[in-house]
Amino acid sequence: MILLLFVLIVAFVIGYALLINKIKGLPPGPPPIPLLGNTLQLDVDMGKLLQKHLIRDSDKFAERINPTQLMRLITGGENGLVFNDNSIWKEQRRFAMHALRNVGFNNATTQSTVIRYAHEIIARWKEQGANRTPVDLTHGCTVGVANIIWQHVFGRTLVYDDPLIAQVKHLAEESIASMGHPLVMALETIPAIRYLKHVDSPIKRLSNVNKEFLNLLDNEIALVMKNFNEDEEPKCYAETFLQEMRKRKERGEDEGSFTHQQLVIACGDLWGAGFETTVTALRMAFHFMINNPEVQRRAQAEIDSKIGQRPIHLEDQKVLHYTNSVIQEVLRLNASSINFARRVSAPVKIQGYDIPIGTGVIPQFPLIHNDPEIFERPDYFCPERHLNEQGEFVKDARITPFSVGKRSCLGEGLARMELFLFFTNFIQHLTFSSVSKVPPELKLLQSLARTPLPYEVIVESRD
């Protein structure tokens, strides 16, 4: 009896693997593994299809498959600005974009603030790097980026040595590392995994880290509520949200999606959108500089020639062609290794096959960034690939580190501004070089994000 049952199970698995694509009318391909599908069989050749269809028809792939189990674990339900795909997400994303615009997201004041922080960090690094003392750039980059997003979300500034900065960065790193663990990624397929939160496991670590992070955000919101003058214009996202909650209450309306829990989760999502990607890109950029000193010298020479010693502003992008190509090459090599699942929301045809509405799709943008048929020697750091014959910078629509379409990162505009202003102002006044004669190899923590492991540099003043 047991042998017969075993034979039937094996026959079912083999039949499933061989026939499932034909039964569903999907394109031919390698037999999928039950539960795992074709995840282990992804190939860089898929980059061509990704470029042709997902980037060109991005709105047809804009709906997100809600990771219900993950959301329950880290947000307590369908809250926030990232994982949802429902009326709550649409309402809250529109509100967030409107609120951030009103408090100066991406405007001239923000630009001036970024430049001011850049020069404060430059002074710190000069002091720390005196007498060729090795410097870890992580904290400086973290302080600059953290303060910008903290001001927009909570309306206050953190001092350079504020322990809150280190705490938030630690929690963000722990959360990203845990979310990239295979057990966490299998949570939606095998919901029973969630019970591992009661024993020592990646599930429990993720749950505990997020509880600590949400408590931190809750405390920050309590400060906003304590100091918020409702008769004045809101100065940050949290105040704008609290004002909307008050207005609905005064009108006798249902609070709808404007709940305290939604505010907490949304603040965390905005922090994530405006923080980790930018800090990681800056750290990657300086690693490439110490490994490619000729690139750093050429970018510095361009800045010296076109800008001189005055602070660099966003409008200077139009004359800093080589420096822009350096930043775009950093973003090409810095794309997150994992993207969240979406679903087909409108009829789409791929290589002659109709892909049904509702089909799950996981866009892997690094497949394009690392496709040798698109970018020659894709593993090689080569800013020159982004210049035309006249030496002018050419923006490449195929490089999409912030995703595309309606699901693109809310913080993309701010992140691009920060990356340009911090990087250019830093190399204008400082030269970064390797501690040893042989520059360190780029070692990455592969998780939801590709994060460089800690490294130190020699910082020398150019002033």
Q: Determine the distance from the C-alpha atom of residue 86 to the mean position of all C-alpha atoms in its chain, rounded to a whole number.
A: 22
382 is in an annotated binding site: no
Q: List the binding residues.
A: 409
Q: List the binding residues for heme.
A: 409
